[in-house]
């Protein structure tokens, strides 16, 4: 039996998680053959580790990275996995004047930045033209306020406008299958259009953080490897991997749950293809047992970060001798960390295996005793405080 499989079975929440033994053995071999510089540490963004909060690393607050849509809940594409429902809970800013008011309001509430997005037109373009001067005004007035923009498809001129307006980070989905573009996105654009968009964005000074949505073709992996090759040709600052969660898919075009073992193989291939590019597993992925499988593979494949890890993932990383850091983060700041792209190993707090095991044990015991009463809310006890753990600041 692989040494890594034995270590996995020693992690209580993952002792019964079904994994592909051959895949794990391949991941273990990749780790053993890598030098220290090529197999990175891992940062977990999670609200369950607030016990590690210090004066240098504060809890973020739920409004740290709100999402703002310039079209409200409207989108022309009506993609099969979304149907524009993702836009509905966002803060609407349908005019530049409203955007200015929204930003001033969220800054007063403690926002550190925002995700700015909107619904697409029929060519998968978000029509930001009237907003660039307002974005520039925001950045001039609040230079520390970060703006991450969902670009959709752009050309060189549009990318330059985004850069000149002061956008900090540009995000886009890279789709590597023409069938997925046509059938899921209902879009008359080509794979080449997605590649040229990435090429235009990386030619600017903005941080560029493309996303690959694994299982986007109705739950099946189809163009993901091609998307990865596109990214390899136009290296960005980081890549976010997410797994499709088609809550709003129509009954006529249902999505399967992606095969977690196929997802794990893609993680391993992505790490080998992009050895020096930060890879982050974003918040979106199926819940339950599948999430535990996916997160275990993310840890073993050598991804740089995991947002909102499944129970046991942090302990598994420590047991596999990966340097573990924790960033206490709610959902909103995890979005911020995704798009601002892992500025380096200096994020979060470094903690050791014994601290992780003890904290995980106490958290699970609290959850068991509460029997749903606490709803998973973390509790800080005096013995858990950072000063008592020997954790070193980042």
Q: Which residue has the tokens 């992009």?
A: 274
The tokens describing 293, both together, are 């499988």
Dihedral sign, Cα of residue 98, residue 104, residue 107, residue 108: negative
d(CA 275, CA 134): 38
- Per-residue pLDDT, 35: 72
* 96 Rama class: left (phi>0) / alpha (psi -120 to 50) / beta: alpha
- Predicted local confidence at residue 327, as pLDDT: 79
Task: Write down the pLDDT at residue 253.
Answer: 86
Using one digit for the tens of pLDDT, what is the confidence trace for 11-33? Answer: 999 999 999 999 999 999 998 88
Contact between 344 and 43 (Cβ < 8 Å): no
Report the pLDDT value the prediction gives residue 101, as an integer from 0 to 100.
98
H-state helical runs in the chain: 3-9, 21-33, 96-108, 132-141, 156-165, 178-183, 191-202, 224-233, 260-273, 289-301, 313-319, 331-340, 353-370, 386-389
pLDDT beneath 70: ranges in the chain: 1, 36-39, 47-63, 329-348, 367, 370-394
How confident is the model over 113-161, as pLDDT tens digits? 899 999 999 999 999 999 999 999 999 999 999 999 999 999 999 999 9
Listed residue (129, 125, 149, 154) closest to 139, CA to CA? 149
d(CA 388, CA 190): 56
Domains recognised in the chain with CATH numbers: 3-389 (3.20.20.70)
- Contact predicate 257/291, CB 8 Å: no
Q: What pLDDT is stored for residue 37 in this prediction?
A: 57
**Which pLDDT score, from 0 to 100, does residue 378 have?**
41
Rounded to two decimals, what is the model's pTM? 0.86
Which residue is listed with tokens 């849509």? 69
Q: 342-357 pLDDT, tens per residue? A: 454 445 677 777 877 7
Angle at CA of residue 182, ends 75 and 157, nearest 5°: 65
- The set of residues, in sequence order, having a beta carbon less than 8 Å from that of 5 and lying 6+ positions away, is 19, 21, 24
């Amino acid at each position: 039996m692989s040494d890594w499989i034995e270590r996995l079975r020693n992690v209580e929440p993952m002792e019964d998680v079904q994994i592909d033994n051959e895949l794990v053995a391949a991941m273990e071999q990749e780790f053993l053959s890598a030098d220290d510089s090529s197999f990175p540490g891992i940062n977990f963004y999670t609200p369950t580790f607030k016990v590690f909060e210090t004066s240098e690393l504060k809890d973020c607050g739920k409004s740290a990275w709100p999402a703002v849509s310039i079209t409200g809940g409207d989108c022309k594409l009506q993609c099969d996995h979304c149907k524009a429902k993702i836009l509905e809970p966002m803060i609407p800013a349908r005019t530049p004047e409203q955007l200015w008011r929204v930003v001033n309001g969220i800054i007063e509430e403690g926002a550190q930045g925002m995700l700015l997005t909107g619904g697409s037109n029929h060519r998968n373009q978000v029509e930001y033209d009237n907003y660039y001067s307002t974005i520039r005004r925001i950045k001039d007035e609040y230079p520390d306020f970060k703006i991450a923009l969902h670009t959709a498809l752009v050309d060189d001129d549009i990318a330059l406008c985004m850069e000149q307006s002061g956008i900090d980070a540009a995000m886009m989905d890279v789709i590597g299958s023409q069938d997925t573009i046509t059938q899921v996105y209902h879009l008359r654009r080509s794979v080449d259009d997605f590649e040229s968009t990435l090429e235009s964005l990386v030619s600017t000074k903005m941080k560029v953080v493309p996303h690959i949505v694994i299982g986007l073709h109705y739950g099946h992996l189809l163009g993901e490897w091609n998307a990865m090759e596109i990214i390899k040709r136009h290296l960005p600052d980081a890549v976010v991997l997410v797994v499709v969660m088609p809550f709003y898919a129509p009954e006529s075009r249902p999505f399967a749950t992606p095969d977690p073992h196929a997802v794990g193989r893609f993680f391993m291939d992505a790490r080998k293809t992009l050895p020096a590019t930060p890879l982050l597993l974003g918040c979106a992925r199926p819940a339950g047992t599948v999430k535990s499988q996916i997160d275990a593979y993310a840890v073993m494949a050598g991804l740089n970060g995991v947002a909102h890890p499944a129970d046991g993932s942090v302990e598994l990383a420590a047991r596999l001798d990966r340097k573990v850091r924790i960033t206490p983060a709610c959902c909103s700041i995890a979005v911020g960390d995704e798009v601002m792209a892992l500025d380096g190993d200096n994020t979060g707090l470094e903690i050791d295996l014994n601290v992780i095991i003890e904290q995980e044990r106490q958290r699970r015991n609290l959850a068991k005793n509460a029997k749903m009463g606490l709803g998973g809310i973390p509790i800080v006890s005096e013995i858990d405080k950072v000063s008592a753990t020997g954790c070193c600041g980042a």
